[in-house]
Amino acid sequence: MHRSAPRLSRILACAAVPVMLVVAGCSSDSGDTKESGSSESSPSASASKKAEPTVEPAKFAALPDPCKSITKKTVASLVPSAKSKNGTATGSSDTAYRAGCSWNGLDDNGVKGSQYRWLDIGLTRFDSDQALGSGAKRAQQDFDKQVAKAKASEGAKKVAEAPVAGIGEQATKVTYDLSKTGEDFKYATVVTRTENVVITLTYNGAGYAGAKTPSSDDILKGAEKAAREAVAAVTGTGADKPSGATPPSGKASDDKPTDDKSSDDKSKDSKSTDDKPKDDKSTEKKTSAHKASVKKTS
């Protein structure tokens, strides 16, 4: 009887070992589950991201008719005897973003010679784009490019640049002299920006067959007057308001202007044809002969 008691104690001790191991195992599993649960409850990465800022929508969603952006009265005063009083529109793949018009004419004054004038306007509009910036910012960049291009005109002499007040939100005038077809031309280019639209206006003139060369001041005043009217047409405060306007949109378009290359080429083509006097009927032999030589030179 005394020997069986110790033996029974050893049996009970061995039988308890598996129970302890099971409890330990369950305790370990419970810890793993808790850690997994705490990981799942952490805030998601997407919730911590900040929303990207949106660009300001472009103010103007359309351009006015460039050939109507300058009043007929002003055209008549700046370009007497214009070959086309309604102007000649510049070719464009999308006039909602880029448009232009020009006028030129040779005013025959008989024995007093002839006066030649050329007026050109170019309009470029920019939409707002999330990647490229607001329409106004993109127009600012193009404004700087147009001023630099005017200053770099081939053959230009006595080039001068200065800001102009009271035309659009910002404006710069570039004046210079240029000799061609045997005569001295006076040039004035006014580049102005109003919101997301850039206006480039060029006016020049020369005297033929002994006529006096126009003054730089007169050419500049004419350019500034026409530029003011063009700004009024863009903003809708002029005689001709933009037609077919739609609500401003910051959405980018595949046809929107991204560089000046195409417009520069068209501008060069326009200058090569319109920026030279053409023959009109003359009452004086000397003037007629001179016009013929000008045409041949062109």
* Higher per-residue confidence, 232 vs 15: 232
**Band of residue 46 on the pLDDT scale cut at 50, 70, 90:** low
For strand 98-108 and strand 88-89, is the pairing parallel, antiparallel, or unpaired?
antiparallel
Is the distance from CB of 295 to CB of 278 less than 8 angstroms?
yes
Alpha-carbon distance values, 41 to 31, 36, 46, 165 (Å):
16, 9, 14, 62
CB 66 within 8 A of CB 121: yes
Residue 35's pLDDT band (boundaries 50, 70, 90)? Answer: very low
Q: Are 196 and 59 in contact (CB under 8 A)?
A: yes
* Residues 235-247 pLDDT 10s: 998 654 444 333 3
In a domain, 39, yes or no: no
Residues in Cβ contact with 136 at an 8 Å cutoff, skipping those fewer than 6 apart: 56, 58, 59, 126, 195, 196
Tell me if 292 is assigned to some domain.
no
| Domain limits for position 242 | 66-262
Q: What pLDDT does 53 receive?
A: 76
Residue 55 lies in a domain: no
In a domain, 246, yes or no: yes
In a domain, 114, yes or no: yes
Percent pLDDT > 70 in the chain is 62
Taking the complete model, does pTM exceed 0.75, yes or no? no
pLDDT on residue 90: 94
Instruction: Provide the number of structural domains found in the chain.
Output: 1
Instruction: Assess whether pLDDT exceeds 50 at residue 107.
Output: yes
Average pLDDT, the chain: 77
CB atoms near residue 277 (< 10 Å): 23
In-domain check, residue 277 = no
CB 201 within 8 A of CB 189: yes
pLDDT digits (tens, 9 = 90+) for 119-129: 999 999 999 99
For residue 245, tell me if it sits in a domain.
Answer: yes
Q: What's the confidence (pLDDT) of residue 181?
A: 87
Pairing of strands 170-180, 88-89: unpaired
**What is the pLDDT confidence band of residue 269, given thresholds at 50, 70 and 90?**
very low
Which is more confidently placed, 75 or 38? 75
Alpha-carbon gap, residue 226 to 234, rounded angstroms:
13
Weakest mean pLDDT among 7-11, 83-87, 173-177, 278-282: 278-282
pLDDT of 220 reads: 98
180 found inside a domain: yes
